[in-house]
């Protein structure tokens, strides 16, 4: 008899698995591990015997057992060994096995937190490795090729202008329009200029431009590196003694770090112009008054904080995209999946980071 880590016991001769703890202590996660171990250990042959003799059962515990071992039905099959005290639950166990098997994604839910923690640790190690290799390398004279960085800056910055500028212009107009509708009720529409001047560079533009960069440039970086992994180009770099961090990751990371803030500055101007256009056509607010209110509200700390956000977001997009591209399975479908994951993870982390930065700003200016 062989023992799995303290949760269950596998008997290879009898093709049986037996919980080593009460079912309430194991939970669905422990039972799921037992089912996966039994499926791997007893591939082929007859049914797997789940030995529940001497194990306290109730309806909830019986349902947990069927949900965990449903993955073994119809093949190789499951047979329950029960004592007299638990025979009344045989019908419930067998009916549960007869239900349609769960989707694989649902089956993996109990182990999802553990996998997320492992992924977070792996990402932190990758980010630390890239950071400690790329930036000290520049100080030591191992900077990435200027042409490669220039190509990335052009692709990210100039290529992103037709997408980012119109959208930020529209967002500025929307913020001004909504503010006008609300503040007009209190006769305070003159303060719409203040609101637009603060909201656009402080929050709206860094967030919108970061999301657009993640969807456009982050996806491109992840797919490029994923394709290089699938074609074994990264392996070729390492076999020739070149570091992928210096020759693959660094140009893309610096392209985002340089182009992101520049794009944010131009998007700030577009958003402020969009808000001013709405203010100019509104009665009671002259263009001169709008500009005066905007200059008084938009301090250098607000503007620089928004630029700092864009730098942080650009770094996150670059590292996440390189990380997901590096982890891409070596297939076209794997590259597509890695690209999708890079975009979703970048946007989620941008929103979370933006919230934390805003909270820090609020606490520092109380």
Q: Do 209 and 347 reside in the same domain of the chain?
A: yes
Assigned token pair, 61: 């515990």
Mean residue pLDDT across the chain: 81
CA distances 88 to 83, 92, 228, 293, Å, are: 10, 8, 59, 78
Q: Do 224 and 290 reside in the same domain of the chain?
A: yes
| pLDDT for position 333 | 83
pLDDT in tens, 205-245: 999 999 999 999 999 999 999 998 888 888 888 888 777 77
pLDDT category at 56 given cuts 50, 70, 90 is confident
| pLDDT for position 202 | 93
Q: Do 82 and 218 reside in the same domain of the chain?
A: no
Pairing of strands 2-3, 16-19: unpaired
Pairing of strands 48-51, 78-81: parallel
The residue among 34 and 349 whose pLDDT is bigger is 349
Structurally, the chain folds into a number of domains equal to 2
Decide if 17 contacts 81 (C-beta within 8 A): no
Q: Do 89 and 147 reside in the same domain of the chain?
A: no
Question: Is residue 1 scored above 50 in pLDDT?
Answer: no
Residue 222 domain boundaries: 112-364
pLDDT category at 339 given cuts 50, 70, 90 is very high
The residue among 92 and 318 whose pLDDT is bigger is 318
Distance CA 179, CA 196 (A): 8
Of the three residues 103, 131, 147, the one that is the final residue of a domain is 103
Q: Do 214 and 360 reside in the same domain of the chain?
A: yes
Q: Do 182 and 65 reside in the same domain of the chain?
A: no
Q: Do 171 and 39 reside in the same domain of the chain?
A: no
Helices 332-364 and 219-230, axial angle in degrees (round to 10)? 140
| pLDDT for position 139 | 58
Distance CA 34, CA 50 (A): 10
The residue among 354 and 280 whose pLDDT is bigger is 354
Q: Do 46 and 183 reside in the same domain of the chain?
A: no
pLDDT in tens, 283-321: 767 778 888 888 888 889 999 999 999 999 999 999 999
Distance CA 152, CA 137 (A): 19
Percent of the chain with pLDDT over 90: 29
Q: Which long-range contacts (CB under 8 A, 24 or more apart) does 23-27 make?
A: 23/55, 23/56, 23/57, 23/61, 23/64, 23/65, 24/61, 27/64, 27/110
Q: Do 210 and 304 reside in the same domain of the chain?
A: yes
Q: Do 97 and 116 reside in the same domain of the chain?
A: no
pTM metric for this prediction:
0.67
144, 128, 153: which is closest to 314 by C-alpha? 153
pLDDT in tens, 112-147: 576 677 778 888 888 887 787 777 766 566 667 788
Of the three residues 103, 125, 147, the one that is the final residue of a domain is 103
The residue among 215 and 49 whose pLDDT is bigger is 215
Q: Do 348 and 212 reside in the same domain of the chain?
A: yes
Q: Do 72 and 141 reside in the same domain of the chain?
A: no
342, 362, 284: which is closest to 126 by C-alpha? 342
| pLDDT for position 358 | 93
Of the three residues 69, 103, 137, the one that is the final residue of a domain is 103
| pLDDT for position 71 | 59
The residue among 109 and 317 whose pLDDT is bigger is 317
Strands (E), the chain: 2-3, 8-11, 16-19, 48-51, 78-81
The residue among 341 and 53 whose pLDDT is bigger is 341
pLDDT in tens, 154-211: 888 888 899 999 999 999 999 998 888 888 888 777 788 889 999 999 999 999 999 9
């Amino acid at each position: 008899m062989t023992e799995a880590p303290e949760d269950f016991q596998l008997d290879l001769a009898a093709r049986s698995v037996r919980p080593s703890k009460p079912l309430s202590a194991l939970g669905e996660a422990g039972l799921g591990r037992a089912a996966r171990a039994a499926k791997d250990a007893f591939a082929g042959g007859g049914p797997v015997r789940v030995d529940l003799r001497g194990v306290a059962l109730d309806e909830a515990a019986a349902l947990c057992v069927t949900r965990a071992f449903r993955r073994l039905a119809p093949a190789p099959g499951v047979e329950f060994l029960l004592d007299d005290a638990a025979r009344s639950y045989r019908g419930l166990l067998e009916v549960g096995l007869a239900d349609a098997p769960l989707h694989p994604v649902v089956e993996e839910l109990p182990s999802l937190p553990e996998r997320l923690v492992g992924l977070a640790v792996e990402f932190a190690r990758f980010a630390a490795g890239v950071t400690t290799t790329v930036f000290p390398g520049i100080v030591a004279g191992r900077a990435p090729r200027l042409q490669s960085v220039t190509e990335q800056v052009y692709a990210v910055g100039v290529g992103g202008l037709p997408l980012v500028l119109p959208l930020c212009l529209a967002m500025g107009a929307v913020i001004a329009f909504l503010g006008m509708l609300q503040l007009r009720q209190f006769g305070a529409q003159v303060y719409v200029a203040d609101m637009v001047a603060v909201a656009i560079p402080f929050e709206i533009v860094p967030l919108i431009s970061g999301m657009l960069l993640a969807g456009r440039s982050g996806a491109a970086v992840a797919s490029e590196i994923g394709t290089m992994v699938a074609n074994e180009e990264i392996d070729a770099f390492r076999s020739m003694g070149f570091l992928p961090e210096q020759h693959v990751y660094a140009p893309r990371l610096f392209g985002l770090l340089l182009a992101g803030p520049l794009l944010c500055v131009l998007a700030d101007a577009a958003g402020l112009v969009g808000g001013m256009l709405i203010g100019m056509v509104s009665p009671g607010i002259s263009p001169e008054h709008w500009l005066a209110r905007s200059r008084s509200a938009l301090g250098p700390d607000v503007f620089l904080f928004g630029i700092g956000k864009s730098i942080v977001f650009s770094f996150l997009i670059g590292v996440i995209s390189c990380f997901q591209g590096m982890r891409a399975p070596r297939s076209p479908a794997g590259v597509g999946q890695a690209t999708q994951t890079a975009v979703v993870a970048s946007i989620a982390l941008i929103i979370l980071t933006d919230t934390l930065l805003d909270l820090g700003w609020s606490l520092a200016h109380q």
